């Protein structure tokens, strides 16, 4: 049998028990994880108990939670049958988005796989990248479909990571000749002073998150060679002035720290055969007081232009540590209380 089959309980006293049978014991071991850690995650998340009995898993709990646990286990087992792995992020994605069987859509040769149920998968040299929320899924699809896309939302929602993954995918597929990644070189609330070394040494600390993303998708030696050949460029926003970026996948990260003039300059660099992604978080603006954010202006001025997509994320899309979502929600609640208090005092 291909996917875990559900068998009825053995007696009427086991009505709250669901038994799932799996045909491949080796895949079942991978499904359970080392020391049954995958099962423990599902148990903790859904409030069920999962017991292994030979090539069967017994799920005990409330009916709704039990049904969801069975669906998650079946989807994860199907991943293993398809030759994929099961990591903590895959379990989290099943909770958020549900399962789906693979159904390839070549998208003119792009390294994108579509799934029944709306899941997508991006192929890179080192790993397969799958969106873990519905907002991430819509974002990835918009990156393939639009020449200019914005990703706006709090930290930890995968805006930059997914944009770089799509860029690497399109580069591998031959749809662009270069990848260009940029950020404003703005200090986050503290003065670092003058940094030693040449220009690269001075700007690299600001660009490190972009290097980190690339290292996840490309082998180290290949990445170093592509950077040396200028087929992958990582540079501060100020270095973009005067250039026309043709046949390139271009990402501007931390765009909330671009001024209005810088944003206009950057957007007008878009050349033939290129795609551009702008990512930012409106709650983390580090510009001097009184200097407007170019990201806010771009939202206001460009939202009615066809073929420019705006994709928004919330704390529910955070895929870092669960505490990150809780922290963001606490700050958002405080900001809302302050706004209400200010409105009441001015009334």
Percent of the chain with pLDDT over 70: 82
What's the confidence (pLDDT) of residue 2?
Answer: 47
What's the confidence (pLDDT) of residue 129?
Answer: 87
Question: How far is CA 91 from its chain centroid?
Answer: 15
Distance, in Å, from the CA atom of 248 to the CA atom of 254, rounded to the nearest integer, reads 19
Indicate if the pLDDT at residue 152 is higher than 70: yes
| pLDDT, greater one: 198 or 259 | 259
The SS3 of residue 287 is coil
What's the confidence (pLDDT) of residue 202?
Answer: 61
Least confident of 3-7, 270-274, 291-295: 3-7
Quick one: pLDDT band at residue 9, thresholds 50, 70, 90? low
Quick one: pLDDT band at residue 78, thresholds 50, 70, 90? confident
- Give per-residue pLDDT as tens, 20-76: 888 888 899 999 888 888 898 888 888 899 998 888 899 998 888 888 889 889 888
- Pick the closest to residue 244 from 201, 273, 202 (CA basis): 273
Cα–Cα–Cα angle for 37, 157, 204, nearest 5°?
Answer: 105
The structure tokens listed for 228 are 């040396």
CA separation, residue 135 to residues 57, 98, 153, 254, 330 (Å):
32, 14, 11, 19, 21
The SS3 of residue 179 is strand
Domains of the chain: 5-97 (3.30.1370.10), 103-313 (3.40.50.300)
Quick one: pLDDT band at residue 1, thresholds 50, 70, 90? very low
Distance, in Å, from the CA atom of 162 to the CA atom of 112, rounded to the nearest integer, reads 12
Distance, in Å, from the CA atom of 74 to the CA atom of 220, rounded to the nearest integer, reads 36
- Give residue for tokens 């591998």: 172
What's the confidence (pLDDT) of residue 186?
Answer: 67
Distance, in Å, from the CA atom of 189 to the CA atom of 209, rounded to the nearest integer, reads 18
What's the confidence (pLDDT) of residue 6?
Answer: 57
- Phi and psi at residue 131, to the nearest 5°: -55, 145
The structure tokens listed for 47 are 């409030």
| pLDDT, greater one: 112 or 259 | 259
- Pick the closest to residue 297 from 152, 98, 85 (CA basis): 152
Indicate if the pLDDT at residue 146 is higher than 80: yes
| pLDDT, greater one: 244 or 114 | 244
**What's this model's pTM, rounded to 2 decimal places?**
0.74
Quick one: pLDDT band at residue 133, thresholds 50, 70, 90? confident
What's the confidence (pLDDT) of residue 148?
Answer: 96
The contacts of residue 303 (CB under 8 Å, 6+ apart) are: 310
Distance, in Å, from the CA atom of 203 to the CA atom of 222, rounded to the nearest integer, reads 22
| pLDDT, greater one: 87 or 229 | 229
- Give per-residue pLDDT as tens, 315-339: 888 876 667 777 877 877 887 888 7
Region 127-136: mean pLDDT is 87
* Mean pLDDT, rounded, of the chain: 82
- Give per-residue pLDDT as tens, 180-239: 999 887 654 444 455 565 556 666 777 888 889 999 999 999 999 999 999 999 888 888
- Pick the closest to residue 69 from 137, 134, 4, 2 (CA basis): 4
Region 293-310: mean pLDDT is 92
What's the confidence (pLDDT) of residue 111?
Answer: 45
- Pick the closest to residue 58 from 43, 80, 75, 41 (CA basis): 43
The SS3 of residue 58 is strand
What's the confidence (pLDDT) of residue 199?
Answer: 56
């Amino acid at each position: 049998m291909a996917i875990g089959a559900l068998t009825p309980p053995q007696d009427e006293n086991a009505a709250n028990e669901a038994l799932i049978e799996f045909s491949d014991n080796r895949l079942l071991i991978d499904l359970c994880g080392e020391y049954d850690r995958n099962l423990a995650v599902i148990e903790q998340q859904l409030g069920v108990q999962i017991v292994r009995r030979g090539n069967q898993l017994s799920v005990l709990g409330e009916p709704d939670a039990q049904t969801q646990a069975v669906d998650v286990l079946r989807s994860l087992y199907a991943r293993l049958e398809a030759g994929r792995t099961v990591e903590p992020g895959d379990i989290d994605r099943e909770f958020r988005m549900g399962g789906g069987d693979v159904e390839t859509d070549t998208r003119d040769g792009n390294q994108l796989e579509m799934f029944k149920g709306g899941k997508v998968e991006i192929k890179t040299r080192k790993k397969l990248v799958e969106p873990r929320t519905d907002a991430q899924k819509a974002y990835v699809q918009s990156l393939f479909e639009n020449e200019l896309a914005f990703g706006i939302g709090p930290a930890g929602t995968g805006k930059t990571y997914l944009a770089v993954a799509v860029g690497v995918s399109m580069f591998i597929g031959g749809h662009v000749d270069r990848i260009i990644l940029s950020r404003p070189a703005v200090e986050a609330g503290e003065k670092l002073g003058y940094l030693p070394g040449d220009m690269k040494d001075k700007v690299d600390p600001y660009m490190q998150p972009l290097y980190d993303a690339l290292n996840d998708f490309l082998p180290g030696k290949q990445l170093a060679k592509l950077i040396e050949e200028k087929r992958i460029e990582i540079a501060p926003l100020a270095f973009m002035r005067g250039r026309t970026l043709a046949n390139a996948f271009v990402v501007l990260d931390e765009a909330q720290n671009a001024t209005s003039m810088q944003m206009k300059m950057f957007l007008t660099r878009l050349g033939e055969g290129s795609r551009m992604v702008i990512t930012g978080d409106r709650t983390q603006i580090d510009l001097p007081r009184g200097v407007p954010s170019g990201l806010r202006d771009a939202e206001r001025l460009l939202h009615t232009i066809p073929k420019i997509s705006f994709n928004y994320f919330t704390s529910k899309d955070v895929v870092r540590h669960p505490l990150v979502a809780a922290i963001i929600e606490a700050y958002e609640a405080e900001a809302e209380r302050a706004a209400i208090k200010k409105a009441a005092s001015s009334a």
